[in-house]
Structure 1
Amino acid sequence: MRIALNLTGLLIVLLLFFQCSGNREFEQYLGMENISWGLQDTISFTMTHPLPEGVTILAVKYNNDYPYRNLYIRYVLKDSTDHIFESQLINIPLFENTSGKPLGKGYGSTYTRYDTLPLTSKVPYSKIEFLHYMRLEELKGIEAIGLKRVNN
């Protein structure tokens, strides 16, 4: 009886694990050299095949050296021939307005802020690029940018 309960419990845990991780189609993080993002640096993610409709999540890994409360980023969606079919400027809040408390999850002085990208195009894309629009040559405190794509 005890073995049957243990096997049932193990089966439930395995099913939950595969169910939760099975909807991820793409996930990648790109770290920044010198923990800063240059004005001319484009962060680019290329998929091996165009991704169907789904939720696209941007991850910004940052630390307390970041000098502002928000981050303006432009994302550019491209197909396999580098044809641009969507480009939009978005604002990612990283710290609370009043207290200055980090909005991301983390520990120590490093945090990661996740935000869903407001993609409007229904065309499957195979490349997405990110550029910062903060008007500084070197944007200190940005450690990495990540992209995660999950099924609906």
Structure 2
Amino acid sequence: MSNKLSRSVKIAMFIAITLYCFSCDSNAIYKSYVDLKDTNWYVKNVPTFTFEIKDENIPYNIYILVRNASQYPYNNLYVTRYIYGPDGKILSNRLEEVILFDQKTGKPLGDGLGDIYDHKLLSSRSFMFPKKGKYTIKLKQYMRQDPLPYVMSMGVSIEKPLPPKQ
């Protein structure tokens, strides 16, 4: 009985965190997650996100989103982020490091509830997409372990920068 309650509580927390995250980004033109099967991220599993840019004249901030369990065995996560243009050619690729836990204390970073934590890493500030059209971002885990356990979801958010505060 306690296993069912524990599972129900985790599901409720997951829904609450998801709703919270979606309600906070009114400047996002695209935001999506891909859930990883059994919370294991295999090297061959490359989450892919396709979105449309309608205004190529403004800069966009690109964020990598990570949802992990507190049992994740490392302090950080290395991810290679690829951006493909409408023609399918690579516009950009870079290795990103997401810090998930404080290195000294081991305390989880990010927004969390229970043992589930969400992280938002700025990958590119003021990225200029060269033209209107559909773009694709792919994320590939770049860790030494395959599969990488306790990574629940990976995502991206494409956002218009907020105007400067006055």
| TM-score range normalised by the length of the shorter chain | 0.7 to 0.9
Unaligned runs of 5+ in 2: 1-23, 162-166
- Which residue identity lines up with residue 37 of structure 2 in the other structure? E
Q: Highest CA radius of gyration, 1 or 2?
A: 1
Contact 1:74 1:90 in 2 (8 A): yes
Partner residue of 1:98?
Answer: 104
Moved over 3 A (4+): 48-52
Scaled by the length of structure 2, the TM-score of the pair is 0.73
Percent of residue pairs identical: 24
Structure 2 residue aligned with 1:132, among 134, 141, 145? Answer: 141
- Counterparts of 1:62-141 in structure 2, within 5 Å, are 62-118=68-124, 122-124=128-130, 126-141=135-150
Unaligned runs of 5+ in 1: 1-19
List per-residue Cα deviations over 1:9-67 (Å, max 9, x = no partner). Answer: xxxxxxxxxxx754221111111111110011111100144664211121100002211
Cα 1:59/1:51, change in 2 over 3 Å: farther
Aligned length: 133
List per-residue Cα deviations over 1:90-136 (Å, max 9, x = no partner). Answer: 11100001000001111111100111113685334711100010021
- Counterparts of 1:17-56 in structure 2, within 5 Å, are 22-49=26-53, 52=56, 53-56=59-62
